[in-house]
């Protein structure tokens, strides 16, 4: 039965990668795969010799000796646990995405768009890469990608050029998210799990993450697609639609930055702070929407309709709900493999079967190659369950170098495939980027950055 579940996952994963060929939206195979995997677990529960306790991050002793009712109860508890953990991530993302859409409702990102004063393609590439690196650390890599691609669509009209920029934005956003506790789902998991602290995460990973962004961007500047200038006409000179644009931008970004502060003070999960931030931003949005919008250079009837429309309702209707459902399907499907101990066993075999010098944990060397393979695996499967499995494998203390290396590898390794990270998935949806186009054009650039950053980390960790 376990082989059948793995087969279902593989088939579902292939359907996701071949989305554009089979003309079926990726969220459909993700949701179907999730449902079938858990259905097969329920039907074959008696045949499984082991069960992985995600809460304790260990296999349950004597699982095979339990009765059918006890196993069913354990499965239901595990399913509820994974749904709860997945929902924490999804609610967090929903809050962040809604704040971003509220900022966009007031055309707040026109302030960022105003930074772009050049038409030279290579300079614009560096501007977007740096913005992605910084913004992803503040508003997470997923949200930063959404923001920057939205701006990109207003500046770069030619899609064949724009998808190249989008590919580099994915790399830069994932690199920027690795050194911030709210920048990536995996770093948030390690942060919540008391494995890393904000200060040491920055100290260990800022320079490797910076190199992970700089190297691919530097290589890309020599590619023919980034030579010459863009024909942007008046796109960059567009004036904001609202006089509250700048206010809502800084309020929204400030509200998101407030989330880790709220977590440190209250010790509550980040999604609670995100909901508070959303509530505050939404309150100001409702107040400002009752004020008169600037009608300069805009049709008055359109502006009146804009002013009387609830910004919160409008923003909720604009968020990338298909991406959220896709994320739900993927995470819950991989949770099925995790619950059977499949991922744990795979990671354990890597730990024992690859003898190399690495970080010492519990008297044994944890191979650096294993952690690097974790990064590659995050591009193929998903970084969240792989990091969850590593939490169960290793018992290193707070701010151990192992956790920082895992945070880097899992956070940046997903850039090597477009479906290897939430940022890539969103970019794929927004720009309809083909899986194989990304594999041929961007993956090698991402790999170069990943290796460069890893080498820098392996060197700098000896200095601490």
CA-based torsion, 276, 281, 286, 290: positive or negative: positive
For range 3-13, the mean pLDDT: 88
Tell me the range of 183-187, 241-245, 387-391 where mean pLDDT is highest. 183-187
Domain membership of residue 92 (yes or no) is yes
Long-range contacts of 386-390 (CB under 8 A, 24+ apart): 386/343, 386/347, 386/410, 387/186, 387/189, 387/190, 388/54, 388/57, 388/189, 388/338, 389/338, 389/343, 389/344, 389/346, 389/347, 390/347
Higher pLDDT, 290 or 354: 290
Higher pLDDT, 7 or 301: 7
Provide the pLDDT for residue 58.
73
In angstroms, the Cα distances linking 438 to 126, 431, 443, 444, 452 are: 20, 12, 6, 9, 20
Whole-number Å distance between alpha carbons of 83 and 331: 9
Give CA torsion, residues 196, 59, 42, 8, to 10 deg.
70
Residue 395 token pair: 């018992």
Domain total of the chain: 1
Asked whether the predicted pLDDT for residue 445 surpasses 90, the reply is yes
Domain membership of residue 111 (yes or no) is yes
- Domain assignment of residue 125, given as a range: 88-321
**φ, ψ (nearest 5 deg) of residue 106:** -90, 10
Asked whether the predicted pLDDT for residue 246 surpasses 90, the reply is no
Domain membership of residue 4 (yes or no) is no
Provide the pLDDT for residue 241.
64
Provide the pLDDT for residue 128.
92
For range 114-121, the mean pLDDT: 78
Provide the pLDDT for residue 382.
66
Domain membership of residue 65 (yes or no) is no
Beta strands in 67-194 (DSSP E): none
Non-local CB neighbours of 37 within 8 Å, separated by 6+ positions: 5, 8, 9, 333, 336, 337
pTM: predicted TM-score of the whole model, two decimal places:
0.75
Dump pLDDT digits (tens) for 151-196: 888 788 888 889 999 999 999 999 998 888 878 878 877 887 678 8
Asked whether the predicted pLDDT for residue 359 surpasses 70, the reply is no
Higher pLDDT, 279 or 114: 279
Domain membership of residue 52 (yes or no) is no
Non-local CB neighbours of 232 within 8 Å, separated by 6+ positions: 119, 155, 156, 157
Tell me the range of 329-333, 383-387, 395-399, 449-453 where mean pLDDT is highest. 449-453
Dump pLDDT digits (tens) for 371-384: 888 888 888 776 76
Dump pLDDT digits (tens) for 287-327: 888 765 443 444 444 444 444 568 888 888 888 788 788 87
pLDDT above 70 as % of the chain: 84
Asked whether the predicted pLDDT for residue 206 surpasses 80, the reply is yes
Domain membership of residue 174 (yes or no) is yes
Domain membership of residue 208 (yes or no) is yes
Task: Fill in the DSSP letter of residue 108.
Answer: T
Average pLDDT value for the chain: 81
For range 88-108, the mean pLDDT: 84
Least confident of 124-138, 290-304, 403-417: 290-304
Dump pLDDT digits (tens) for 16-59: 767 767 888 878 998 999 999 999 999 988 888 888 877 666 78
Residues in the chain: 464
**φ, ψ (nearest 5 deg) of residue 52:** -100, 125
Whole-number Å distance between alpha carbons of 207 and 213: 10
Least confident of 76-90, 143-157, 404-418, 440-454: 143-157
Task: Fill in the DSSP letter of residue 367.
Answer: E
SS3 364: strand
Domain membership of residue 263 (yes or no) is yes
A 10 A CB-CB count for 279 gives 12
For range 220-231, the mean pLDDT: 86
Provide the pLDDT for residue 298.
45
Whole-number Å distance between alpha carbons of 442 and 30: 24
Provide the pLDDT for residue 361.
45
Provide the pLDDT for residue 389.
66
Task: Fill in the DSSP letter of residue 409.
Answer: H
Residue 295 token pair: 């009608």
């Amino acid at each position: 039965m376990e082989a059948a579940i793995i087969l279902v996952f593989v088939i579902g994963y292939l359907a996701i990668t071949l989305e554009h060929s089979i003309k079926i939206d990726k969220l459909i195979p993700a949701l179907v795969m999730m449902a079938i995997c858990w259905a097969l677990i329920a039907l074959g529960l008696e045949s499984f010799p082991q069960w992985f306790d995600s809460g304790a991050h260990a296999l349950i002793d004597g699982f095979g000796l339990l009765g059918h009712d006890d196993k069913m109860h354990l499965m239901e508890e595990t399913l509820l646990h994974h749904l709860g953990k997945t929902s924490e991530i999804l609610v967090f993302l929903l809050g962040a995405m809604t704040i971003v859409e509220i900022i966009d409702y007031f055309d707040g990102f026109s302030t960022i768009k105003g930074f772009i004063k050049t038409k030279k393609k290579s300079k614009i590439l560096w501007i977007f890469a740096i913005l992605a690196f910084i913004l992803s650390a503040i508003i997470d890599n997923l949200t930063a990608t959404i923001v920057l691609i939205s701006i990109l669509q207003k500046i770069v009209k030619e899609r064949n050029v724009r998808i190249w920029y989008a590919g580099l934005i994915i790399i830069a956003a994932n690199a920027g998210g690795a050194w911030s506790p709210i920048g990536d789902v995996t770093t948030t998991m390690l942060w919540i799990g008391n494995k890393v602290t904000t200060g040491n995460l920055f100290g260990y990973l800022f320079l490797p993450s910076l190199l992970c962004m700089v190297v691919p961007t530097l290589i890309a500047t020599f590619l023919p697609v980034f030579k010459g200038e863009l024909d942007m006409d008046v796109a960059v000179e567009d004036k904001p639609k609202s006089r509250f644009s700048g206010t809502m931008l800084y309020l929204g970004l400030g509200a998101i930055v407030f989330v880790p502060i709220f977590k440190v003070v209250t010790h509550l999960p980040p999604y609670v702070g995100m909901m508070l931030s959303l509530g505050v931003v939404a309150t100001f949005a409702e107040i400002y929407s009752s004020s008169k919008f600037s009608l300069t250079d805009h049709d008055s009837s359109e502006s009146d309709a804009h002013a009387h429309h609830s910004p919160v309702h409008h923003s909720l209707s604009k968020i990338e709900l298909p991406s959220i459902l896709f994320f739900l399907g993927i995470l819950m499907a991989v949770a099925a493999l995790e619950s059977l101990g499949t991922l744990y066993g795979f990671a354990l075999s890597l730990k024992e079967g690859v003898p190399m010098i690495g970080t010492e944990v519990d008297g044994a060397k944890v191979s650096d190659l294993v952690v690097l393979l974790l990064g590659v695996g995050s591009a193929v499967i998903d970084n969240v369950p792989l990091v969850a499995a590593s939490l169960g494998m290793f018992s290193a203390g707070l701010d151990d170098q192992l956790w920082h290396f895992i945070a880097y590898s899992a956070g940046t390794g997903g850039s090597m495939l477009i479906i290897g990270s939430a940022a890539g998935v969103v970019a794929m949806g927004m720009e309809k980027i083909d899986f194989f186009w990304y594999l041929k054009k961007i993956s090698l650039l991402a790999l170069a950055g990943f290796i460069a950053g890893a080498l820098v980390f392996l060197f700098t960790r000896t200095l601490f």
